[in-house]
Structure 1
Amino acid sequence: MCNFTVRENGTEMKNPAYAVVFGSVIAVGLPLNALSLCILLCCHSLNSPSTVYMVNLAVSDLLLVISLPMRVYFYATGTWPLDNIACICVTMLFRNNIRSSAFFITFICVDRLLAVVYPLRSRHLRTSSKAWKAAAFVWLLVLAMNIPESVIFTRFLNTYPGPSCFEFQCPPRSAMAYIQPGLVFTMLAVNIVCTVMVSWTLNRRLNDSARVDNKVNVMLIFVMNLIMFTVFFLPVSMGVLIERWRPALTPLICLASLNCCLDPLLYYFSFDGFWRRKEDVDSSLGRE
């Protein structure tokens, strides 16, 4: 049971440090991801599955960024000026970013595994049509997860005394609190397996069709993926589930929001000279 306490003013909910963190994420993440999305759409072919996944990852990050101004306002003033629906939308945009980003980063990881370890046998799998279908599945799954969470959150807000958002003495919990950590753990395991297999492949003698020009950049992609999961996705997912972590949930949310500022590095290392040449090899093989 939750013992609600109505706060007469927003003093207890004000936290300039959180406002600064979220404001910094907006200042860095918005231009970087907007520029990255423009470059991906204008300079790279959407026939590449890697580009498809990265375009969707950039969109996910931008959706997160546009939800952060209201968090900045809330923590700067300690007040929530909008209705419950707006609170639910902002909350769902953050949670959607964690889930969709985890899926798209895993897809990128698997795509790189296929390109390096199985360059010829995976050509029929690494197609843009399959990538778009996978992306559509992710978005539909994420939206489906929103439905039960939104219903539970709406009921909670209707019984919560006084207008507020983000900071509750007894925040609502749904089945997603258990499903999300399971998904993150599973995808982390997939990323670890892919990293090990690619590292093993790069350290043995490769044939001409699988030759890699820049092994460092290739491994950096996998290392960055592992950092994303272990630093940004997993702690906040566990924070929602584990009761004693609840006091640290807001700092974990601040930490998780930083992931959208690092994703442009993933785009940079993914589209260096190796990947351009690799895609050219794959396309030329497809024409023969």
Structure 2
Amino acid sequence: MCNITLRENGSAPEIKNTAYAVVFGSVMVVGLPLNAMSLWILLRRHSLKSPSAVFMVNLAMSDLLLVISLPMRVYFYATCTWPLGSMACIWITMLFRNNIRSSSIFITFISMDRLLAVVYPLRSRHLRTSSNAWRAVVLIWVFVVVMNIPESVYFSRFLENNTVTTCFEFQHDPKCPIAHFQPVLVFTLLAVNIVCTALVSWTLRRHLNESAKINNKVNVMLIFAMNLLMFTVFFLPVSLAVVLKNRRHYLTPLLCLASVNCCLDPLLYYFSFDGFWKRQEDVDSSLARE
């Protein structure tokens, strides 16, 4: 737990808190320009008529929401104080937690869209429309925000019984049903991504000798490889840690690790297009020919 007593009585907690501040600060410095530039490119060069572009724009927005929550985390771990009160603490914590949930859902929808584009390019055209993508996006954000309500209530009760120096040290009781929501969500979405990866890999190998460009196939598989990396390295460990006992000493390092995902998402945008600066309609036509 981050508090003044620990900083005064021992150097190890102080070093840990400094390391947390450095990690969150580095993610903020790298993630902000990368995601701002990615969002600008997506909006400027890729029509929002494409479902993939719609999902990626919202993924970039999710990452930017994470980034804007990081300055106060840096201040908290650098000073072990929280000057803004419990309500601000709750809002900033929810922004951080929402990134894992919204990012994992958007990444899964990107995988499913690529699956339809590669495996069922003609039959899926009536499904892969911008209107359907926007409907899905609205439902995703509503779902994520609604899940904040019970968590915020539980968090406010936690802060009532603790000092403000525990702001970002909030941990669910493993017996609380709310604590199991995120692990179940991440496991389910990971399973969907694994199935999508297997089906796309099998389809591309089956058509390996056809005239489609091999670079396109490599890029497609890189998308799925990065999606699985996001889940197994950034989303899954911290989601499991929430429901485990004796998690106090490794939950914050895992949160630091999870925050790094917003710096790698721009690579997903790059590999999702056959050339980041091309229009998405050209990419979909290329995939359809495969």
TM norm structure 2:
0.89
Deviation of residue 23 (structure 1)?
0.4
In structure 2, the CA distance between the partners of 1:188 and 1:229, relative to structure 1 (3 Å rule), is same
Amino acid at match of 2:105: F
1:248 aligns with 250
Shift of 1:155: 1.1
Distance 1:6 1:245, change over 3 A: closer
Of 212-221 and 264-273, deviating more is 212-221
Aligned to 2:204: 202
Aligned equivalent of 2:129, options 116, 127, 130 = 127
Q: Distance in 2 between matches of 1:262 and 1:254?
A: 14
Distance between the aligned counterparts of 2:79 and 2:286, measured in 1?
55
**Aligned equivalents of 2:203 and 2:122: distance in 1?**
15
- Farther-moved stretch of structure 1 (51-60 vs 274-283): 274-283
Partners of 1:182 and 1:11 in 2: CA distance: 36
Residue 11 (structure 1) shift: 1.9
- Residue in structure 2 matched with residue 70 of structure 1 by the alignment: 72
Cα deviation, residue 272, structure 1: 1.7
**Are 1:278 and 2:277 matched, yes or no?**
no
Whether the 8 Å contact between 1:123 and 1:282 is mirrored in structure 2 is: no
Q: Which residue of 1 aligns with 2:160?
A: 158
How big is each residue's C-alpha offset from its partner over 1:87-116, in whole Å with a ceiling of 9 and x where there is no partner?
Answer: 101110111000000000000000000000
Shift of 1:157: 0.7
Please point out which of 28, 49, 52 is paired with 2:51.
49
Residue type of the alignment partner of 2:94 = M
* Shift of residue 7, structure 1, vs aligned partner: 5.3
The answer to whether the 8 A contact 2:25-2:74 is kept is yes
Contact 1:240–1:246 (CA under 8 A) maintained in structure 2: no
The residue aligned with 1:85 is 87
In 2, Cα distance between the equivalents of 1:250 and 1:123?
43
Question: Match of 2:84, SS?
Answer: coil
What's the counterpart of residue 149 of structure 1? 151
Shift of 1:49: 0.2
Residue type at the aligned position of 1:202? L
More off after superposition, 194-203 vs 13-22? 13-22
Q: Partner residue of 1:16?
A: 18
Structure 1 position 20, deviation (Å): 0.5
Q: Deviations over 1:4-62 (max 9, x none)?
A: x9955572774110000000001100000000000101110000000000000000000
1:25 and 1:6 mapped to 2: Cα distance?
20
Q: RMSD across aligned C-alpha pairs, in angstroms?
A: 2.4
Using the alignment, how far apart are the partners of 1:184 and 1:141 within structure 2? 14
CA 1:139–1:212 in 2, change beyond 3 Å: closer, same or farther?
Answer: farther
Tell me the percent identity. 67
**Gaps spanning 5+ residues in structure 1: where?**
284-288
| Contact kept in structure 1, 2:172 and 2:179, CA below 8 Å | no
What TM-score do the two structures reach when normalised by structure 1? 0.89
Cα displacement (A) at 1:206: 6.7
Q: Determine the C-alpha separation between the residues in 2 that align with 1:69 and 1:218.
A: 35
Contact kept? 1:53, 1:131, Cα under 8 Å: yes
Cα distance, 1:66–1:10 mapped onto 2, change above 3 Å = farther
SS of the aligned residue for 1:164 comes to helix
Asked if residue 230 in structure 1 is aligned to residue 238 in structure 2, the reply is no
Residue 114 of structure 2 corresponds to residue 118 of structure 1: no
